[in-house]
Amino acid sequence: MSMTNYELYKVFYWAAKTGSLTKAAKTLYLTQPSVSYAIKQLEDRFQMKLFFRTPKGVALTEEGHVLFSYIEQSQVLITIAEEKMAALKNLTSGELRIGGSDSLFKHYLLSHLEEFHYDYPAIKLQLIHGTTPEIINYLKEGKIDLGVVRLPISDSQLEFRQGIQLQDCFVAGARYAELNGVELSLEQLTEYPIILFSRNSRARMAINELAHDYNIELKPAIEVGSVDLLIELARRGLGISYVTREFVSKELESGALFEIRLNVPLPPSQVGIMNMRNVPLSTVARKFVERFD
């Protein structure tokens, strides 16, 4: 349906709805002659009379009733669509899907999500767990709107907004108290049971790359898929865990864990919010990422 046709049908709808060309003109902010002309154009097109005059205005002919039964459905759908678009614009409806790790959700994104939910309680939030490669795939497949990940990531299809900087470290519990305050080399560290995050995590890749630079291979005694488990296993003395310092601040402050000193610096990592470069963000997603600008 062209724009011209739509306007004709809109005039027809309101003339039938109100039973008056004058009322239809007022509703549509048109002149009565314009309404009459629009009705005539439709009648000429179909070569049928759609209205007949009554003492109170106009009424539909039998053919007019048939046309109205279809036009009414489309007009209702258009009205609903307009209301839906207004709701999306005003953030009184919609959904925000974000992919990331549990640890980044908990320790980085949670406060932003809390504020966003407070400001826009009608927006449904969906948090999807995954490793960095999985989150990238979810984004490219359209399963999520945004991803929260550790940088750097090299992919021309993606764009990033940088967030906070994180520092990873090795931590241990009371069972390895003799190491507290002692400086170790990476080679000496490998003499102890190491607990690492899953192979596909960005943190795991980073420490493996660093160890490789020193011709050392890290062979974990335990691999886990949860930061909380990394912390708990280290606390219980099952090994030395590689974790993000900011995520174990309470344990370090309380003395439940202590940081292992190394004679080589561990590189920091940057957290970023990513989205597809050439795919426009939804109104909801755009409103959320504005908090990171």
> In whole angstroms, what is the distance from residue 142 CA to residue 139 CA?
5
User: For residue 126, which of 284, 283, 287 has the smallest C-alpha distance?
Assistant: 284
Q: Which helix (H) or strand (E) is 101 found in, with range? A: none
Q: How would you write the pLDDT of the chain (293 residues) with one tens digit per residue?
A: 344 688 899 999 999 999 999 999 999 999 999 999 999 999 999 999 999 999 999 999 999 999 999 998 888 888 777 877 777 777 888 899 999 988 899 889 999 999 999 999 989 999 999 888 899 999 998 899 999 999 888 899 999 998 889 999 999 999 999 999 999 999 999 999 999 988 777 788 889 999 999 999 999 999 998 889 999 999 999 999 999 999 999 999 999 999 999 999 998 889 999 999 988 888 899 999 988 87
CB within 8 Å of 89: residues ≥ 6 apart: 283
> Do the Cβ atoms of 201 and 149 come closer than 8 Å?
no
* Residues comprising the chain, all counted: 293
> In whole angstroms, what is the distance from residue 284 CA to residue 182 CA?
50
> Do the Cβ atoms of 19 and 56 come closer than 8 Å?
yes
* Residue carrying structure tokens 């209205």: 51
**What is the per-residue pLDDT for 2?**
41
Q: What is the 3-state secondary structure (H, E, C) of 93-111?
A: CCEEEEEECHHHHHHHHHH
Domains and CATH numbers, the chain: 3-89 (1.10.10.10), 95-158+276-292 (3.40.190.10), 168-267 (3.40.190.10)
* Residue carrying structure tokens 């439709």: 42
* Residue carrying structure tokens 């980085």: 108
- DSSP secondary structure string, 116-134? HHHH-TTSEEEEEE--HHH
C-beta neighbour count of 276 within 10 angstroms: 18
